[in-house]
Amino acid sequence: MHVGSLPEFLPSSRLHRRVVACVILFAGWLWPPMAHTHDLAIPGQRSLTDVEEIELVYAGSQPTPKIIVRGRQTANSFVLSSHRPSDDRVDLLPHAEAWHPIAACQATEMSLAPSLHVRIDHRGTTPCGMMWSLKAAGKNLDALSFRTLHVRGMTSSPVKIALVDALTEPERAHAVTEQLTGHFSLEVPLASLARQVDLRQLAQVRLLTEADADVVIDELALIGPSSEPHPTPVIGFWYWDYRAAIRDPESMVAACRKQHCRRILLQLPDMRDADQIWTAYAQLFKMTKSADIELLALDGAPDMIDHAVPLVGKLNRLLGLIERHELPAVQLDIEPYLLEGFPEDETIFDRYVDTIDRVATVLRGQAKLSVVIPFWFSSTIHRQRPLAFSVMDRVDEVAVMSYRTDVDELMTISDDILRYGALARVPVWLALETTKLLPERHVILKREHRTALADGVLDPIRRILRLEAPTQREQAEQDRMWFRIHHQTTVRPERISFSGRAEHEVRHTITDLFARIHQSSFSGLVIHDLPGYLSLTR
């Protein structure tokens, strides 16, 4: 790492970052208790007086762990507790049997079957009306796989129909329709609504008016896609050694073509590299294009969210070397969750999204933007919105670090991003890992106020964590903090990477995924990485 430019990660460093990305929200098998007691120095500058959780991450057999400290965690309000209909059409009117008036309104049901007919008497000065729940058996409604909402009926006064998800305050319900008047019949695309409401967990329908209204709803139904074009998925490879690519581009292209790959994502040169390096890198785009291979300029580092100027300089330098008809695509691989302070620092994701916006502004009209995200961004709620969806709203495509060797598991963890991509028409690439990984042991320690149950003691002043039961003297010291081992888990490399397996196993997995994923957003698989794949046994 150096000053004035983005850090140039060696493949091993990149590999470590990717492993961490896979395991931040995932762990597998229990490990035996720690056998040795030792003191650990807590890095960083932040005060430790409010620490509630400490995570120790041991890679392979290393004796010294990476240490992550966390304050009191605000509960992630996302809970996947939704009912996902399998039909292509879902009628929302039967749910209206249990409707309730809103605010000071008085509402009278005139009839329900086959149409909902209700008289609303407006009270007060604010919009009111009626609402009903979409929950079934305690589960919200997952409507992400649908494309339109069909609305048909009549009203004597202007009304709006709104949908509320499980994260939204009811008074901030997002209107699905503009004001409806008289007889109405319309199809409302759900793509624009999906930018405001999490369609995976719809909780309520609201009928809103600012006047007395006699309303009849003849149809209120979600409609799925009748048919959507499915692109032919292809294979791509990440490749970090740009110097090797420049020295021998023919070998890189030949290796790609032998594997029937159509895309290479190649690390950008360092800003300090000579003009000859940058010129040679730029010339690769013409060469790969003639071989019918798409080349993407790849760059990224966690601290980019605070130091984007070097990246912008790189992009401008590259764009200046490439002719207009050969403009490249650019892929960002930032991984901001690897920064110290994650996850308690909520501004990390704010700065991350701002950086994506900044790069998109630089590239607008000159190159398309791709961003690498971990699969768990779809269940990470930031500013009351799934972070994966917020990123997808800003870019031309995403690549998902869906590193799993089991096809069913890979499809499960990628499904929501694929569905949102199909709705929002954002291409989605999934990823396979082929490089060698170390097992990682995770030890989670939670704050414990009963010293008899403590497995460790923290001196917040000296910033020393001792992994042993507190002594009687330490129990009497007021400035000590006690922690107990909450759980210990490990991440098994063979569940994430195909390293050490035969090439035909990976080819079988690729064929299986191509045959089983039917979302229109699925563009293909990108493999981490080209040298790792070429080292598989044959």
Domain coverage including residue 318: 250-435+494-534
The strand pairing partners of 332, in sequence order, are 299, 371
- Distance between CA atoms of residues 151 and 143, nearest Å: 16
Token code pair at residue 102 = 């809103």
Q: With CA atoms as reference, report the closest residue to 238 among 275, 264, 213.
A: 264
Q: Name residues whose C-beta falls within 8 Å of residue 189's C-beta, 6 or more positions apart in sequence.
A: 147, 148
Is residue 505 in some structural domain? Answer: yes
With a cut of 70, say whether residue 463 has pLDDT above it: yes
Q: Is residue 23 part of a domain?
A: no
Q: pLDDT-based confidence at 14, cuts 50/70/90?
A: low
If asked whether residues 416 and 302 sit together in one domain, one would say yes
Residue 145 pLDDT: 97
Q: Is the pLDDT of residue 3 over 50?
A: no
CATH number of domain containing 188: 2.60.120.260
- Residue 18 pLDDT: 56
- Establish if 519 belongs to a structural domain: yes
The answer as to whether 78 is a domain residue is no
Alpha carbon distance 140, 358 (integer Å): 36
What integer pLDDT is reported at residue 474 of this predicted model? 72
Percentage, residues of the chain above pLDDT 70: 91
Q: Is the peptide bond before 345 cis (omega within 30 degrees of 0)?
A: no
Mean pLDDT of the chain: 89
What is the structure's pLDDT at 349? 96
pLDDT digits (tens, 9 = 90+) for 177-230: 889 999 999 999 999 999 999 999 999 999 999 999 999 999 999 999 988 888
**CATH at 414:** 3.20.20.80
Domains: count for the chain: 3
Same domain (yes/no): 48, 183: no
Name the burial class of residue 217, with classes exposed (0-12), middle (13-18) and buried (19+) by CB atoms within 10 angstroms of its CB.
buried
Nearest CA-CA partner of 97 in 141, 133, 138:
133
Question: Taking a C-beta distance cutoff of 8 angstroms, is the pair 401, 375 a contact?
Answer: yes
- 274/420 same-domain check: yes
Residues 198 and 317 in one domain: no
Give the Cα-Cα-Cα angle 188, 370, 387 (nearest 5 degrees).
60
Helix (H) or strand (E) holding 289: helix 275-290
Reported as half-sphere exposure (CB side, CA atoms, 13 A), residue 103 has a value of: 18
Q: What is the pLDDT of residue 1?
A: 33
Q: How far apart, in Å, are the Cα atoms of 325 and each of 262, 268, 365, 388?
A: 19, 20, 12, 31
Residue 310 shares a structural domain with residue 298: yes
What's the mean pLDDT in 136-150?
95
Q: In this structure, are 289 and 408 located in the same domain?
A: yes
Give how far Cα 150 sits from Cα of 96, 111, 162, 218, 220, Å.
16, 20, 13, 10, 6
Question: What would the two tokens of residue 210 be?
Answer: 């600012």
Secondary structure, 3-state, 159-174: EEEEEEECCCCHHHCE
Q: What is the 3-state secondary structure (H, E, C) of 404-458?
A: CCCHHHHHHHHHHHHHHHHHHCCCEEEEEECCCCCCEEEEEEEECCCHHHCCEEE
Asked if residue 239 belongs to a domain, the reply is no
* Average pLDDT of the residues in 138-144: 95
What pTM, to 2 d.p., does this model score?
0.87
CB contact at 8 A, 456 and 480: no
- The verdict on 461 and 355 lying in the same domain is no
Residue position matching structure tokens 């044959």 = 538
- What's the pLDDT at 415? 97
Q: In 10 A of CB 382, how many CB atoms?
A: 19
State the amino acid at position 112 in one-letter form: L
Looking from the CA of 52 toward its CB, the CA atoms found within 13 Å total 6
- Contact between 211 and 79 under an 8 Å Cβ cutoff? The reply is no
